[in-house]
Amino acid sequence: MTRAGRATPWSAVPRQDGRRFVVTGANSGVGLETARTLAQRGAHVVLACRNADKGAAAVRDIGRVDGSVEVASLDVSDLSSVRRFAAEVVAGGDVDVLVNNAGILGVPFSRSVDGIELQLATNHVGHFALANLLLPRLTDRVVVVSSQSHRSGDLQLDDLDWERRGYSPYGAYGASKLANLLFLAELQRRLTAAGSTLRATGAHPGSTATGITSSSGPGLFAWVGSWGHGLVGMKPSQGAMPTLYAATMDVPGNTYLGPHRLHEMNGWPVGVGRSRSAIDPDLARAAWARSEELSGVTWPL
């Protein structure tokens, strides 16, 4: 792996025999391709999916692999579902790697069943809870999937419900993706302080042609986004490469990966930067505290 402009193609995912992965949102797009590649390399992969039928279809799509796959029900926006899923996963033994991948994009304002703005609930709070619930049984790492949209994110911790501001579907998405990276940084700080050998890594897929742009947000914007990604975006199999690198390669904690070409739109995995807000340690600690309040899940180590 090298810096942007000097990267060489990387697709040599090492063997993962005997390792257990959990991938959220694994029934389509980057999540499906991540799960497929890991299973092809010998891993056992838990496909955490909200829709059982789509999960079963993903298993058929993945087909025969060297490893194995199973489907488990998870609605990451519903904290009761997160707790139930975590208990079921832990009952099956240790988890080597958790890949927090599931997400929604640009949807009209609504609240989760727990009363949290839906994009924050889905993209961040549920994943925050899941990681902390699984942490005592993790053996390797947590992978946080964010987005270049974090750069436009404004995470106002005293107005997470957008009551003082006019709601912006894409502003809320950017805020949730900023929350992802603040979680990444603070999680690694806490792991290091606790003397843990676990690590947290992050990735973003650049411009990848997946269903998230066509299935989320207002109709016209969704259509334009889907058309644009289909025209210039990478295939999901390549868009999954930064996530796979973050999940399987020996990189330091708090490493953040994305595509190597201009504006991190496409290319092969390299270490990439993040916004000033995303590396603000005070904001990261404050965001962690608010996430504990919203989720009811606290630091377990």
What are the residue numbers of the active site? 173
Rounded to an integer, what distance in angstroms lies between the CA atom of residue 49 and that of residue 58?
10
Structure tokens at 173: 């998405």
Phi and psi torsions of 168, nearest 5°: -120, 115
Rounded to an integer, what distance in angstroms lies between the CA atom of residue 196 and that of residue 229?
40
CB 208 within 8 A of CB 148: no
Closest CA to 74 of 62, 59, 88: 88
CB 250 within 8 A of CB 197: no
CB 3 within 8 A of CB 270: yes
